[in-house]
Amino acid sequence: MKIHKAGYKSIFVTFFVLFALVVVVHLTLEYFEYTRYALYAWGILMLFFAIRFFRYPNRAIEENPNAVYAPADGKIVIIEEVSDNKYLHENRIQLSIFMSVMNVHVNFYPISGEVVLQDYYQGDKMVAWHPKSSELNEHASVVIEDAQKRKVLVKQIAGALARRIVCKAKKGDIVKQGDELGIIKFGSRVDVLLPTNARINVKMGEKVRAKKTVLAYFE
């Protein structure tokens, strides 16, 4: 299992804190054997979850210029037409993927093309499934334009527990479908804004996998 490099620091800090707690427990709870063992087990579990959170999936992708792949693992929580007045200045179909702490949190490009816009907004920390979190929470927005001039907007949104968005995109980058876009630490959501004539291939509540699930097809 690969670990995303953005997780090295968090995993090290978690290990150091847990190690310090183990030392304290060992010295202060010498005569409470079962309590010590329970706390040791809890520490191992926390370290396991920290490592698991930053796992990097080794997945192949079947490139398709007419397909829009899921950029993240999670569950579809929104499918609706919205008016994007900030970046694309037109109506779009918004698909939102909610990622729990159990999901892979690495994000990937849903299409190939050129990054024509990259923007970061430092906002609030509402729960990621809140309807207003797309606008008011901390987020990074990326617009990719493919060879046919079709544009897809991907928005990485921090949730109540998320503490950092890592977005690798830079304006002018030429990217391939399935390349890494970035990662969001500790609970989050990803919005995908598609042309209104795109053929949606998922439904509400459906679980999706990055680089495997096709969200929609271009007409």
The pLDDT tens digits of the residues spanning 152-173 come to 999 998 865 555 788 999 999 9
The one-letter amino acid code at 122 reads Q
Q: To which H or E segment does residue 77 belong?
A: strand 74-84
Q: Is 141 an active-site residue?
A: no
For 132-167, b/e burial (b = at least 16 CB within 10 A) is ebbeebbbbbbbbebeeebbbbbbbbbbbebeebbb
Establish how many alpha carbons lie within 13 A of residue 143's alpha carbon, considering only the half-sphere containing its beta carbon.
15
Q: Which of 133, 134, 141, 188 is catalytic?
A: 188
Which residues make beta-bridge pairs with 96?
78, 191
1-35 pLDDT per residue, tens? 688 777 677 778 878 887 788 777 777 776 677 77
1: Cβ contacts below 8 Å, ≥ 6 apart: 55, 56
CATH value of 67-217 in 2.70.70.10, 3.30.70.270, 3.20.20.80, 3.40.710.10: 2.70.70.10
Per-residue model confidence (pLDDT) at position 27: 72
| pTM to 2 decimal places | 0.80
